[in-house]
Structure 1
């Protein structure tokens, strides 16, 4: 079933869809009402064209089951998963805020203090996921929502993978978004919590400088740059940045996973130690 945004649509005799608030290759997200509990939710509906592929349906279902198992203030909560006719849908917490990609388009780059505080909260979310045995694998601005009060919510565990679980993709397929992909993802190797730390390091560079470290004509060209080129230091692009934030970026984006922070909590502590310096900038 295709969702007609001009008419009220009800799924599973429970969720009344309202306006569309996001759209992507996998589907679209609608503001909705849970008629049974009387609360506002967000409902992600898998695109009909994508729903023809069993692997895409399984990825979508896995997003729901993976995220539903995680309970943390910085992770957008999943309430329900269902199928109504040909429509596959996920019911999620509605987060009132702006995703980081939109925020960066509006302001260019963040203040060091804001960038550090967002990164700390993403670390907190990742720490909880990693302790539960889940690697996100697609940390990027579009998957980080910032609420008006500054609270961060990490979303979209659609390509998350349980540690030790076989991938749903063919061997060698790069999972993740090229600008933020880790060297091991670019090689088609196994992902670990260190994979998310690398991607967060890239995101930190973007928040501090207003641009991603590597660009290219194709996703593959960009991914290949992550293999061989050192990540430019934020202070080399924005000269008034605290130089000690460079140290965080260097450690987080080490090419060898074992040379990165031991875990997300360790990266969060490193950021916290530098937060007073960021506040002074």
Structure 2
């Protein structure tokens, strides 16, 4: 049954649920207070349809434990996994900011410097995960949060694996996932680190142009285009894209796995070498209301919330305060190191 979201609701005699932020087919996400540590967290509660399956619960538990072992500034942290009666839940970092999907909708497209800045941080997150043997399998805008200071948080590590690789014809498969699927995944083959790099290449294309390269009336139609059509250079769609970033997109989205970057570190290095001119220090990215950007799985109903997160990630170092809706981030100069916390 859905968890009571009243102020009195508690899980494991530790987590007080304060507000339901999102609900979807996979479960609900709540803003909560960790009474033991005195901090805000995001708590994802599995829907009864999943919680009632012992096989799924065990797989989800293992994947949550794996994701909890990933520690990096660009990865939304998983803190805890627990069971309270028949309720299975995961406790996650609560991240403020705006997910990349909302940011792109608000901006249309990002500057080359901004796009390279975001993609480079996603590469850093993937490099750590891949070295730990974890493949994300679902890199897309909704799983990338940009904090107001420009720090990127990749969320939902482990979720796709726990769910399994659903067929593109399965009910609940969303257009958004098909738009970023690697050819080998579309063929039903196992995802690999190279699959994540392909999806990131598509995401970089979208940041640079404002749209994905392939669209269609159904997920299968979109996936077939990933199988048969080369991804065009972003510079062929919009003006002002440096050739070096065109090259990154083209190599990352090569149909053959062996023709892509050998790993996320190599792709990140290519992005750094592309060195598009950074935006002026006074420039900021206006975003839509930074709240309500949680996703609880396919078919999520967006609900008001005081921060930004996804099904597997949510508040960071700024204590869960709502981001200023007038700004999102300014890329740090290439020689300035990572964006500050």
If the length of structure 1 is used for normalisation, what is the TM-score?
0.90
CA-to-aligned-CA distance 1:218-268 (integer Å, 9 cap, x gap):
111111110000112111111222222110001000000010001000000
Is 1:212–2:212 an aligned residue pair? yes
Shift of 1:111: 1.4
Tell me the C-alpha RMSD between the 2 structures.
2.4
DSSP-derived class of the 1:235 partner: helix
Task: Note if contact 1:173-1:188 (Cα within 8 Å) is conserved in structure 2.
Answer: no
**2:179 aligned partner:** 179
**Distance change in 2, residues 1:103/1:91 (3 Å):** same
Shift of 1:133: 1.1
Map 1:164-243 onto structure 2 (within 5 A): 168=164, 177-243=177-243
**1:133 aligned partner:** 133
Shift of 1:130: 0.6
Gaps of at least 5 residues in structure 2 are 281-341
Task: Note if contact 2:168-2:220 (Cα within 8 Å) is conserved in structure 1.
Answer: no
Distance in 2, matches of 1:130 and 1:244, equals 25
Is 1:85–2:85 an aligned residue pair? yes
Distance in 2, matches of 1:254 and 1:187, equals 15
Shift of 1:3: 2.1
Map 1:42-121 onto structure 2 (within 5 A): 42-121=42-121
**Distance change in 2, residues 1:254/1:147 (3 Å):** same
Task: Note if contact 1:55-1:168 (Cα within 8 Å) is conserved in structure 2.
Answer: no
**Distance change in 2, residues 1:149/1:207 (3 Å):** same
DSSP-derived class of the 1:262 partner: coil
Distance in 2, matches of 1:54 and 1:213, equals 39
Distance in 2, matches of 1:224 and 1:41, equals 40
Aligned residues: 276
Task: Note if contact 1:46-1:60 (Cα within 8 Å) is conserved in structure 2.
Answer: no
CA-to-aligned-CA distance 1:154-175 (integer Å, 9 cap, x gap):
110234559xxxx955899999
**Which 10-residue stretch deviates more, 223-232 or 22-31?**
22-31
Moved over 6 A (4+): 170-176
Task: Note if contact 2:63-2:161 (Cα within 8 Å) is conserved in structure 1.
Answer: no
**Distance change in 2, residues 1:210/1:169 (3 Å):** closer
Distance in 2, matches of 1:194 and 1:264, equals 8
Which one has a larger percent helix, Structure 1 or Structure 2? 1
**Distance change in 2, residues 1:186/1:221 (3 Å):** same
Task: Note if contact 2:100-2:141 (Cα within 8 Å) is conserved in structure 1.
Answer: yes
Gaps of at least 5 residues in structure 1 are none
Distance in 2, matches of 1:104 and 1:6, equals 34
Which one has a larger percent strand, Structure 1 or Structure 2? 1
Name which structure has the greater RCO, CA cutoff 8 Å, separation 6+.
Answer: 2
**Distance change in 2, residues 1:128/1:172 (3 Å):** same
Distance in 2, matches of 1:251 and 1:26, equals 34
